[in-house]
Chain A
Amino acid sequence: QVQLVQSGDEVKKPGASVKVSCKASGYTFTKYGISWVRQAPGQGLEWMGRLNINNGNTNYAQKVQGRVTMTRDTSTNTDYMELRSLRSDDTAVYYCARDVGPTYYFDYWGQGTLVTVSS
């Protein structure tokens, strides 16, 4: 069965970086992309970006462009999302979600990783 297992919760200081992992199993890893979605406390879902399997590129939301990098390690079936220059408003639960091209929807989700940014 498809599983996406994320790394554990993190506490970071403002200005630091965080790298969240998402280990996939139960499917052919290289046939699917991954999107990252976050949710601040009490707020809605926000799409951050994707590793786009359709064109091999990464695509990022304007709001985090320049601070985020999404990478993939095919040897371990793991995707990574690194967010730099953390601010208090980056405090959120971060989800990875399997990205289905060419219709660009998310069919399986990781369990979520809480990233808390606090001095």
Chain B
Amino acid sequence: QTVVTQEPSFSVSPGGTVTLTCGLTSGSVSTSYYPSWYQQTPGQTPRTLIYDTSTRSSGVPVRFSGSILGNKAALTITGAQADDESNYYCVLYLGSGISVFGTGTNVAV
């Protein structure tokens, strides 16, 4: 079974930059996996940040950006703010109608 891996946690200083990654236990992530990213604070509904690798969802601040770095999808927060403290999840499309969430990264600011 395919597992999508993310770093368990990151700590970033206010105003700092952090890059979260989203990888596969076997194989490389490419744009063909249509990586998307979601932010969730405890007790809240997930919020869509990035889709199709690098497209920001409506209303998402420009400090959030998506890319492919090496063999993984990446979410970069440039100029982190206190309210960016959340859990972040990636989703990869595996084909044949199947998607899978990553394990999630907790970001402390």
Chain A interfacial positions (CB closer than 8 Å to B) = 35, 37, 44-47, 50, 52, 54-55, 57, 59, 61-62, 95, 97, 100, 103-112
Contacts of A55 on B, CB cut-off 8 Å?
Answer: 97
The one of A54, A57, A62, A105 in contact with B52, judged by C-beta atoms closer than 8 angstroms, is A105
B53's nearest neighbour on chain A, judged by CB, is: A103
Is B98's beta carbon under 8 Å from chain A? yes
Contact of A37 with B101 in the complex, beta carbons under 8 Å: yes
Pairs A–B under 8 Å by Cβ, sample size 14: A37-B46, A37-B101, A44-B101, A50-B97, A50-B99, A59-B98, A61-B98, A100-B51, A103-B34, A104-B99, A105-B52, A106-B48, A109-B47, A109-B48
B25 at interface (Cβ–Cβ under 8 A)? Answer: no
In the assembled complex, the Cα of A57 lies from the Cα of B97 at a distance in Å of 9
B44–chain A nearest beta-carbon distance, Å? 9
B26 contacts A by Cβ under 8 Å: no
Residues of B within 8 A of A109 (CB): 45-48
Within the complex, the shortest CB–CB distance from B23 to chain A, in Å, comes to 15
What is the bound-complex CA distance between A45 and B89, given in angstroms? 8
Task: Contact check, B48 vs A107: say whether CB atoms are below 8 A apart.
Answer: yes
- Alpha-carbon distance A83/B60, docked complex (angstroms): 34
Nearest B residue to A106, CB-CB: B48
**Complex Cα distance A62/B97, Å?**
12
Q: Output the least CB separation between A94 and chain B (Å).
A: 12
Complex: A55 Cα to B98 Cα, angstroms: 13
Contacts A50-B99, A52-B97, A109-B46 hold; do A103 and B52 have CB atoms under 8 A apart? Answer: yes
Residues in B86-109 with C-beta less than 8 Å from chain A: 87, 89, 91, 93, 96-104
Tell me which of A47, A50, A103, A111 contacts B101 (CB under 8 A). A47
